[in-house]
Structure 1
Amino acid sequence: MAWTLPNTLVGLLSGLAALPFGARMGVRAECLAIVFQRYPWGPGGALTLGNVVLHTGNSLDVRCLTYAHRAGLCEAPPVRILDHEHAHVLQYMVLGPLFLPVYMLCGGVSVRNRFERAADRYAATGSGWWPWPCPA
């Protein structure tokens, strides 16, 4: 968690700034994150910054379509948003301050991004949150 502290601080400051505008703060220990629900800014959905999740909705326990399903690449059952964001928390904990540059180099917020595909895989199966194969 110390390795990703710079990202977590940005998320925490963003979440705290949203409190006077209706955001609600809580802790989700199962995904190692501080969560800000009803985050009032952005296009909708959730954004993870280190160990902080900013979510525009009322609950991370709702289900959403995977990136591949929305892109028409496959038929996939909806996944729980909290599980998807938990994968990003784990990815941040490995890459720390390198996460955002590497994430952007991999395609940003899109189905092409291996981080998003891995997060969807983790949300669907409970494993596979790392975006590259591990050597045997």
Structure 2
Amino acid sequence: MHERMTRVTRHSWAINPAREQMAGVTGYSWAISPAREQMARVTGYSWAISPAREQMARVTGYSWAIGLAREQMARVTGYSWAIGPARERMAGVTGYSWAIGLAREQMAGVTGYSWAIGPAREQMAGVTRHSWAIGPARERKNDRNS
């Protein structure tokens, strides 16, 4: 079966054996396909999923590793994810912390990243100089660093 993220994002995700869904509190729905997960081309991101591993296209330089009860990004990325029943937090070793609430997801201020999730848009704090706008048909990243 195919499942879509909230229509405001118009993103489609591919799922697997038992399917992985983020808590409804986030308003995101994930679908996994047998071998491959691709975000809309408008984002320029491509996801490849294998039985025990999820890898983003090399152009992004991110590698994901998925386990039975825990999702960890490959050490090459230096990111570690810890997933709990109602909360998803990145390991402190990475210096990233995720807090998921009823209507908003915020990364710890120590990282200098702040995520605000609303009904129609997700924006990173300007302190990162990255701005994400999610609209009815596209997700854009504006990098003012360049």
**Taking structure 1 as the reference length, what is the TM-score of the superposition?**
0.30
Higher-helix-fraction structure = 1
Q: Which has the higher contact order (CA 8 A, sep 6+)?
A: 1
Higher-Rg structure is 2
